Structure 1
């Protein structure tokens, strides 16, 4: 059941129930949905009263064994309660203690009696419906298109034996718009097809614009022709509209399920069940889609495998890419991890021979080349609201030529903080260790971590000074500044604030591809996966901020992010140019970016990690605690450290901390963390098994919460 407990629970049923069967049971004073894990001995005598199962939900078959095996692995690897893991993996509708109702999508078909019947032409509506059925089966929506009153007519004909309901025929595979592959793409496709070890992961390492998606599509075509299903994982919701459009154009008749958080619960249930029942042949989704049951799974594709969005940051803290690798291995099917900037963990697996690497070193478009990258030294340049004269001149030139430009800054809002020039006051969040961001259009100060909002003050709250100013730039400020500097430019801002509507990304693609936009202003949402053929200039602002981060992964993330955003330029006939404003033009990261030398800089970072013993040279888990005060959280973790000292020393696991989290205060709670690290994965998990045996039973007090994160991405 969906409870934070590590045990299963015994109930009596009036018949034997298969594993995976959904039921409704009483749990305390609540009615809850449960899933049968095994059948106990009906003759067993219990020392306590056993409750009965209230209801069995048999409108769907029991959950499949492969799905339950994946859930069991995830619960064990991430040391999370099995019940909560299981219910995390289910669609919302299947977590509820009620039967689900799925739309009846069977088609209407004339019986022999119906074909022999004659409907008089004077009954125009009935005659039109009968003629349509004589030509072919009709889906309910097709019948309504012929006659709005079709449901009533068809029900009467069904009672008369003229029509019946049957499952729709599987549509034939239609493939349209296939693009010829270049030599490197063809070699990658052939290597994956010819592999004698299909379950060994492939890394498809292709520069931006190298045509990885076309390789995916042709691999998928081969799987569909063989009668198999394909799972495609993408990191962000905003990547799905463009990808779905390409898949629909290529496979117009193939049923495709789309699963992400913007899909309504009812639609998600239908898509999930379609995949489970084998009707959906392609599943495209974000990280939670990795759990989708697919009985005829033939291949898994993880696009942008390096992306941090594949890691869940609360509840079950799983990594969808890693679960996808396990799932493919378990099913003995190929898995392809695609990226222009593979993460260091993946590269380490390539070095160790566990993964195989395929390289696409050139762009797929015959006239396209990697963009020229130039560093703009802001130490010697005058800036107006964050923009140097050189960047403004380049943008103005592109506007005159009616070419598309992108101004990239990974900070939404108008400005990151408001400051007093007299006393030094800064607009801090009262609930977090963070600053309140100015959102000028709404006249609000907003915390991007806990959601706190307040009005922008007119005077300094500390000293009463009226000379308070927003410091720094965000997307809103750049949008306004560009509007003043380039009044004829058509500017479109893309960040979380402007893409909350369900159809927002479809509208963005329509405007861009219709040539209605001159300058895009956006955050990291624009840094990956998007293909804007007319984009010829990328201007990158405030990249230096990431160089000061305390996170050992910061350089890797920044390098990946910059390569990805730079790769939006020059993907078609127009040559691309990237202007990066920086105070550190001599930094090795920027020099590698100018040279488009991912391999060299990644090797340097990997060497540093190995020298320092950081992942992927070691394996980590992080025990976090949050409480009303930092002392309470730290005292709890000190107790845990003392308890772990002897077994950790015996197994060679280092225990570091406790230490305050990078953001100490979040939503009025103070946070601390304990990091467990070992060069051996097995030793780390053995210690975690001991920890989770006794930790849940500890009396930690009502005000303290703890969580365990295996393979944490933020330390």
Structure 2
């Protein structure tokens, strides 16, 4: 019997209502089925979103194309999965088909039904062996036991506010183990913010539950690996899925537990395509699936902290505190070094260097945090004031001494370091500022005469995006730290979170002041989280925690942020920040969105946004409800982005905010109509694209 199918494919949202295309077929197909369909001159993957036994009245049946094939070897995607995708598309203002296709493994789009059948045969049968693992290799602390009892007695969502080293991961594992034991089909999703944290979690989960039934999902995997993991999760044979933000869209028909570790981390926010927050979608998906969800962090996002206030004050999450470290472990003592009292241009203060040498002499490790890679941020000529600007971006190219290059970290443009100043011919051009490469070199020079207890010279290692480019290099470097081969570790934020370094007893933040007076209202929150997380790497071995320290070199030692850091008092810091944001009308008391436009000229990028706003404000056919929504929303004029030009593309943005989430989204929908209408106007020639970022993390 002939049927008409509404199919989600990766197509512009305005091509059909809801971003769906209609096809006709006599093949057996159900809602949620994966199909292959013609699209233009190509054949693409699609998901059946609706099935009709008669043609939709709004379409001419003569123009409809036939479905090419139905991938009937794969069970249809569940109604909950489709609802998650549909909600994400609506909330983040993207095409339904675009979100649906991005949520599926890329290789799935290219396989024929025959090839798919071969892949399906390789999937392991469903296993119940995971449920046999309830037992912890060490006794639980009283606070861990209390938290697990609270989770068993309530539905959540839960915010686990646990100090670094308090045993949050063990709580996750215990909760998952109990869930799997109670339900032989249950599945659990455990997420971490970055790829480099997955090997550590994977090793711990497999040590507890065994290899079978545990799969990973992240962008660092090959196409076949991602497809195999996705199929195992979709079929239910994978009981535990570990992954980064993309794993929130994993098809898991029996999902009962979701864990979002380091929930404050900005990496959970996608920055391309549909700009979704995996953390926020975890809350929505748990409610959709009837599953439990736990967000964990030593420094929760202010949004999550706000939502976990008492229910009488409007809180929606259950806050679970774990303030103490496991065993007799103590949080590091925080020492502030007033750099105003140090000689000019001092990189590492004398007291800090003495403390590092003392650690080396004891056979202990130190970690230095500098959140800027490269040798120096800028190369500079003192004669004519030339600086190493990127010719394609509104930014400086960073000096990398190792390969003698100037490299733009925005567009990738790289050149050899010039022998003389390109502007005036002066041979005396020098680096300005410091990056991790320079800090590594400087440390090696200062420690050249210092010996380890075994008489060997001190080894300094750097871990950042440059030192870990080659496959397997990060794992090898981390292994050197864990084995004690490394004495001093230098790095960016890559080393500050999630790692369980048992030998590190000293952590130092070399130059954290830049974020104290940033125009970005989220900068203090990010800095406090980074410093708290970095400090948490020290003293994780209870036997050494009593003498663990965190050093902060700053020109503003009396700043309230550092006062709260010294006391490890996140609640005080969070409440002070929330008070300031409430008074200023900033999130989480209001809701925001950015409309961004990219064009060949800045004037075109701004004019496109401003004209769409003007048309929206003067729309005559607006309903009373739409007019009311617009009255609740503030739309600000378009301005250049902080980095105005990247890869010869000019970028502008327009901020929209409202105390009403509903009103904000209605205005975004209306504004999209105006943007589509303005796209082809002659005055907007040179416009490249526009995009919407709902709940942006950077403005």
CA distance in 1, matches of 2:475, 2:47: 39
Deviations 1:553-583 (A, max 9, x none): 1111111111111111111121211111111
**TM-score of the superposition, structure 2-length normalised?**
0.90
The yes-or-no answer on 1:478 pairing with 2:439 is: yes
CA distance in 1, matches of 2:163, 2:119: 45
Taking the TM superposition and a 5 Å limit, the aligned residue runs for 1:345-384 are 345-351=303-309, 352-364=314-326, 366-382=327-343
Partner in structure 1 of residue 163 of structure 2: 207
Give 3-state SS (helix, strand or coil) of 1:190's partner. helix
Give 3-state SS (helix, strand or coil) of 1:247's partner. helix
Q: Which runs of 5+ in 1 are unaligned?
A: 108-138, 140-165
CA distance in 1, matches of 2:112, 2:246: 22
**TM-score of the superposition, structure 1-length normalised?**
0.88
Deviations 1:45-64 (A, max 9, x none): 75342221222232322222
The yes-or-no answer on 1:466 pairing with 2:427 is: yes
Give 3-state SS (helix, strand or coil) of 1:238's partner. helix
- Provide the aligned C-alpha RMSD in A: 2.0
Contact 2:263 2:297 in 1 (8 A): yes
User: In structure 2, do the counterparts of structure 1 residues 44 and 633 end up closer, same or farther at CA, with 3 Å as the change threshold?
Assistant: closer
Shift in Å, 1:329: 0.8
Give the number of equivalent residue pairs. 654
CA distance in 2, matches of 1:419, 1:644: 47
CA distance in 2, matches of 1:96, 1:697: 34
Taking the TM superposition and a 5 Å limit, the aligned residue runs for 1:565-576 are 565-572=534-541, 573-574=543-544, 575-576=547-548
The yes-or-no answer on 1:447 pairing with 2:459 is: no
CA distance in 1, matches of 2:346, 2:390: 24
CA distance in 1, matches of 2:524, 2:437: 26
Partner in structure 2 of residue 133 of structure 1: none
Contact 1:413 1:475 in 2 (8 A): yes
Shift in Å, 1:314: 1.3
Shift in Å, 1:471: 1.1
Taking the TM superposition and a 5 Å limit, the aligned residue runs for 1:112-191 are 167=125, 170-171=128-129, 173-175=131-133, 177-191=136-150
- Which residue, 657, 665, 670 being the options, matches 1:690? 670
User: In structure 2, do the counterparts of structure 1 residues 353 and 26 end up closer, same or farther at CA, with 3 Å as the change threshold?
Assistant: same
Deviations 1:458-495 (A, max 9, x none): 11111111111011111111111111111221111110
The yes-or-no answer on 1:676 pairing with 2:656 is: yes
The yes-or-no answer on 1:706 pairing with 2:665 is: no
Taking the TM superposition and a 5 Å limit, the aligned residue runs for 1:368-517 are 368-382=329-343, 386-487=347-448, 488-517=457-486
- Which residue, 537, 553, 576 being the options, matches 2:522? 553
CA distance in 1, matches of 2:120, 2:47: 27
CA distance in 2, matches of 1:651, 1:331: 36
Taking the TM superposition and a 5 Å limit, the aligned residue runs for 1:289-308 are 289-308=247-266
Partner in structure 1 of residue 5 of structure 2: none
Deviations 1:504-531 (A, max 9, x none): 3332332222211101111001111111
Give 3-state SS (helix, strand or coil) of 1:12's partner. strand
Partner in structure 1 of residue 11 of structure 2: 3
CA distance in 1, matches of 2:189, 2:553: 40
The yes-or-no answer on 1:220 pairing with 2:176 is: yes
Give 3-state SS (helix, strand or coil) of 2:395's partner. coil
Partner in structure 1 of residue 89 of structure 2: 75
> Does 19-28 or 64-73 show the bigger shift?
19-28
Partner in structure 2 of residue 21 of structure 1: 33
Contact 1:383 1:389 in 2 (8 A): no
CA distance in 1, matches of 2:685, 2:212: 52
Partner in structure 2 of residue 631 of structure 1: 603
Deviations 1:523-555 (A, max 9, x none): 001111111111001111110111232111111
User: In structure 2, do the counterparts of structure 1 residues 403 and 597 end up closer, same or farther at CA, with 3 Å as the change threshold?
Assistant: same
The yes-or-no answer on 1:541 pairing with 2:500 is: no
User: In structure 2, do the counterparts of structure 1 residues 234 and 20 end up closer, same or farther at CA, with 3 Å as the change threshold?
Assistant: same
Contact 1:32 1:97 in 2 (8 A): no
Partner in structure 2 of residue 145 of structure 1: none
Contact 1:33 1:97 in 2 (8 A): no
Contact 2:458 2:487 in 1 (8 A): yes
User: In structure 2, do the counterparts of structure 1 residues 458 and 324 end up closer, same or farther at CA, with 3 Å as the change threshold?
Assistant: same
Give 3-state SS (helix, strand or coil) of 1:249's partner. helix
Contact 2:130 2:239 in 1 (8 A): no
User: In structure 2, do the counterparts of structure 1 residues 236 and 44 end up closer, same or farther at CA, with 3 Å as the change threshold?
Assistant: closer
Deviations 1:176-229 (A, max 9, x none): 65321111111111000111xx2x311000111111111111111101111221
Q: Larger C-alpha radius of gyration, 1 or 2?
A: 1
Q: Which runs of 5+ in 2 are unaligned?
A: 1-8, 449-456, 619-626
Shift in Å, 1:372: 0.7
> Does 39-48 or 18-27 show the bigger shift?
39-48
CA distance in 1, matches of 2:257, 2:195: 21
Contact 2:160 2:296 in 1 (8 A): yes
CA distance in 2, matches of 1:312, 1:253: 29
CA distance in 2, matches of 1:79, 1:22: 24
Shift in Å, 1:695: 2.9
Shift in Å, 1:703: 2.6
> Does 51-60 or 344-353 show the bigger shift?
51-60
The yes-or-no answer on 1:235 pairing with 2:193 is: yes
